Amino acid sequence: NAGVTQTPKFRILKIGQSMTLQCAQDMNHNYMYWYRQDPGMGLKLIYYSVGAGITDKGEVPNGYNVSRSTTEDFPLRLELAAPSQTSVYFCASSYSPVAGSGNTIYFGEGSWLTVV
């Protein structure tokens, strides 16, 4: 059972370049999320999706785009990379809204991105 799979694990980008972080889950979860984690800071939500074709902004969406064409995949696009986007990115998924549901959010292993 693979769970949530992220690629690549590590990437170095130059300022102004673009790239896509891939995320796939095999748990048939409806909800998917992208978080970023900076040193000394809590995980911050970038974008989330409640199902194929539906996405919404989180706390820190600027500089990113997402799409959700299938239940399994939720790629995160970085356009015109900036040093402020140097971070660790985590994709996550859940079966339903986690509030009061008995469910929780499951995380991938992370993607380390450095913008130089």
Partner 1 sequence: EDQVTQSPEALRLQEGESSSLNCSYTVSGLRGLFWYRQDPGKGPEFLFTLYSAGEEKEKERLKATLTKKESFLHITAPKPEDSATYLCAVAKGGGNKLTFGTGTQLKVEL
Give the binding site for partner 1 (CB under 8 A).
4, 31, 33, 40-45, 48, 50, 58, 90, 92, 97-102, 104-110
Q: Closest approach of Cβ 95 to partner 1, in Å?
A: 12
Distance CA 47, CA 23 (A): 13
Nearest residue (CB) to partner 1, 26 versus 109:
109
The bridge status of strand 44-51 relative to strand 106-107 is unpaired
Q: Closest approach of Cβ 17 to partner 1, in Å?
A: 24
For residue 68, the number of C-alpha atoms closer than 13 Å in the C-beta half-sphere is 22
Distance CA 99, CA 49 (A): 16
Q: Closest approach of Cβ 68 to partner 1, in Å?
A: 14
What is the phi/psi pair of residue 74, to 5°? -145, 80
Nearest residue (CB) to partner 1, 58 versus 63:
58
Question: Which stretches within 14-114 are classed as H helix?
Answer: none
Q: Closest approach of Cβ 42 to partner 1, in Å?
A: 4
Nearest residue (CB) to partner 1, 19 versus 50:
50
